[in-house]
Structure 1
């Protein structure tokens, strides 16, 4: 405990992930790629079209995002995106 943070991802159609506990998150913002861990500094940024990955219990999952906004604060990451789909580690849709 203490090394996780909550991740929430929403689209106009659904809540894709709803405050699941994750260990890390790597995502591409308009300012560049960032990796988020617990107790990350607060940030609000826009996202570019591309892939993100997050790790839960040593299992890494990948998602393709179509732009969006990320807000990091109080050990919670909220991502709002137009649309998304799951991909493998090579970026191929699954």
Structure 2
């Protein structure tokens, strides 16, 4: 069984990440913080302003999102956000 899922992040200006394989994603929704692994139940949710993290090849990366929409289905996570930027684990802009 595959232990990864695809992550796609889109802004009005660009496709920031295009279906990269990740092990997990932790993100802030309006219902609270969730962590997503492969075979997660399908959901659609709105996102709040805050930092998300994802793990790729056992390395954790962080992105600050400015609200958005999250869709999870068929081992794919799609995020549409107004804008984003990379941050470190303390939330400092890179």
TM-score (norm 2): 0.99
Distance 1:82 1:36 in 2: 21
For these two proteins, the number of residue pairs brought into alignment is: 94
In structure 1, the residue matched to 2:40 is 40
RMSD over aligned Cα atoms: 0.7
In structure 2, the residue matched to 1:73 is 73
| Structure 1 runs (4+) greater than 4 angstroms displaced | none
Distance 2:53 2:9 in 1: 12
Matches within 5 A, 1:3-42: 3-42=3-42
How far apart are 1:69 and its partner, in Å? Answer: 0.2
How far apart are 1:76 and its partner, in Å? Answer: 0.1
Structure 2 unpaired stretches of 5+: none
CA offsets per residue over residues 47-94 of structure 1, 9 Å max, x none? 000000000011000000000000000000000000000000000000
TM-score (norm 1): 0.99
Distance 1:31 1:86 in 2: 23
